[in-house]
Amino acid sequence: MKHQLHALDNLAQDAATIQADALLLLLSEAQIKALSGKAAGKTALGKYLAAALAAKDFSGAKGEVLAAYQMAGFVARRVVLVGSEQGQAAQEAAAVQTALAQCAGKGIGNIAIAGFSHLPAVAGAATAALYGYDLTLAKKNPRAGQALHFYQGKADKAAKAEFATALAQAEGVQLARELGNMPANYATPTHLAQTAEKIAKAGKNISCKVLEKRDIEKLKMGSFLSVAAASTQAPKFIELSYTGAGKAAPVVLVGKGITFDTGGISLKPGAGMDEMKYDMCGAASVLGVFAALARLQPKINVVGLVPTCENMPAGNATKPGDVVTAMDGTTIEVLNTDAEGRLILCDALCYAARFKPAAVVDIATLTGACVIALGGVRSGLFSNNDALAAALDAAGEAAQDLCWRMPLDAAYADSLKSKYADVANVGGREAGSVTAAKFLQRFVGDTPWAHLDIAGTAWKSGAAKGATGRPVGLLLQYLLAR
């Protein structure tokens, strides 16, 4: 998909000269008022808008769209007006997605977008709107060949840098969505490892190491291996390193990579189990971030760790009540084999300590309890460090990839006490997302650490079923802000 940034001196005067199969004009209430006034009313755009307002065909309200074909005075074949309310970033992102729905399956190749104020939000939303999963479909997505042209007041060095960041983020989000949407017989642990290797091979300053089962055994990652025990798919432990800042302490990102989760012996209900292919979206987000880093080459150091395997039932599967041993020697009573994400993450968090990180952030579709608490709007944020939590929250706001800080009081760990091991892998039903985070916290020591529970935000169910690519935007903005 082709993306280009263009300067546009005067929207009222120059919109009519833009050559495109479709020209999408995102208009806020303030712009509509200005463009329909006396000064701008003599332009092609002003006349079109004034006529539409007079006929009450368009008011600029949220989601309102007015499309015209071969409009007099315009070079573009189609001109689409869409309301963006007060012109805020989230409103413009929603507006461009609505407008692009008018460009589906109509032989439209070049699409021009103008009238916006928030380039990163609009570029990301536009790219996302044109994405369509087609890997396992006989009929491929025709929109993949469409070109996007963005017109704004300036296309100077600062604007181009902002544009490059937006496109890198969009690329990372798209990779995460594609991996999440793949069926589990395609997106295997081996496939995730191969994807990581391709990212490293294609980008400067990136290296990749893939640990096989025998290597994982040597590291004594008994907790991780207990989850992988019954699958015919070999587990992998992926280590990606991006070095852009010499010997500076890195940020370590740890992504949960359960490529399919049956629940193991604690078997999930059959209805909706197909969505458990999304249980590797934490891993997908880490890979998406590294794809963006490869493109942007920022002056930071980042390590990505992905423990990846399937959670399957079989005669050699871990059973409820079994006790397993993590890499640091902690013994864990597995009371529920469907609480497997924390079992693979704890070993990865132990491994992360060898990098002496400035901060560790783990990302996981961890608990249904977080979905109940926050729905699909915000990811759950847990942290032992106020500065880190504030930075992640600010990054989420900047990327429109929102999170919400949850508590980590010491008392929440009481429910994880076990008579037969150092810790149990689950507590009771109450505060399930918090107790899961408390389990992970015991494996990070004093290192600044945050846990993002993305169970509610990593994918959508129902008619809109599919991976969202979150929280690639949040993570990338956090890293770049450093």
| CATH value at residue 247 | 3.40.630.10
Report the alpha-carbon distance of residue 187 to residue 383 in Å, rounded: 30
Which member of 256, 277, 342, 470 is catalytic?
Answer: 342
Q: Are residues 178 and 139 located together in one domain of the fold?
A: no
**Which CATH number goes with the domain that contains 88?**
3.40.220.10
Q: Are residues 135 and 212 located together in one domain of the fold?
A: no
| Helix (H) or strand (E) run with residue 201 in it | helix 189-202
Q: Are residues 429 and 471 located together in one domain of the fold?
A: yes
Q: Are residues 434 and 319 located together in one domain of the fold?
A: yes
Q: Which two tokens stand for residue 60?
A: 């600029």
| Helix (H) or strand (E) run with residue 99 in it | helix 89-100
342 is catalytic: yes
Asked if the structure places residue 167 within a domain, the reply is: no
Using one digit for the tens of pLDDT, what is the confidence trace for 286-299?
A: 999 999 999 999 99
Asked if the structure places residue 448 within a domain, the reply is: yes
Total number of domains in the chain: 2
Asked if the structure places residue 164 within a domain, the reply is: no
214 is catalytic: no
- Domain with 199, as residue range(s), is 174-481
Which pLDDT score is estimated for 142? Answer: 77
Report the alpha-carbon distance of residue 209 to residue 399 in Å, rounded: 30
Which member of 77, 154, 209, 268 is catalytic?
Answer: 268
Q: Are residues 107 and 236 located together in one domain of the fold?
A: no
Which pLDDT score is estimated for 65? Answer: 92
Q: Are residues 454 and 420 located together in one domain of the fold?
A: yes
Using one digit for the tens of pLDDT, what is the confidence trace for 73-92?
A: 999 999 999 999 999 999 99
Q: Are residues 134 and 203 located together in one domain of the fold?
A: no
Which of the residues in the chain have pLDDT under 70?
38-41, 105-106, 144
Which pLDDT score is estimated for 41? Answer: 65
Q: Are residues 272 and 368 located together in one domain of the fold?
A: yes
Report the alpha-carbon distance of residue 234 to residue 128 in Å, rounded: 33
Instruction: Pick the closest to residue 66 from 84, 79, 51, 50 (CA basis).
Output: 79
Report the alpha-carbon distance of residue 75 to residue 21 in Å, rounded: 9
Q: Are residues 255 and 141 located together in one domain of the fold?
A: no
Q: How many helices (H) and strands (E) does the chain have?
A: 15, 20
Report the alpha-carbon distance of residue 278 to residue 36 in Å, rounded: 48
Which pLDDT score is estimated for 102? Answer: 81
Asked if the structure places residue 118 within a domain, the reply is: yes
3-class state of residue 67 by DSSP: strand
Q: Are residues 56 and 200 located together in one domain of the fold?
A: no
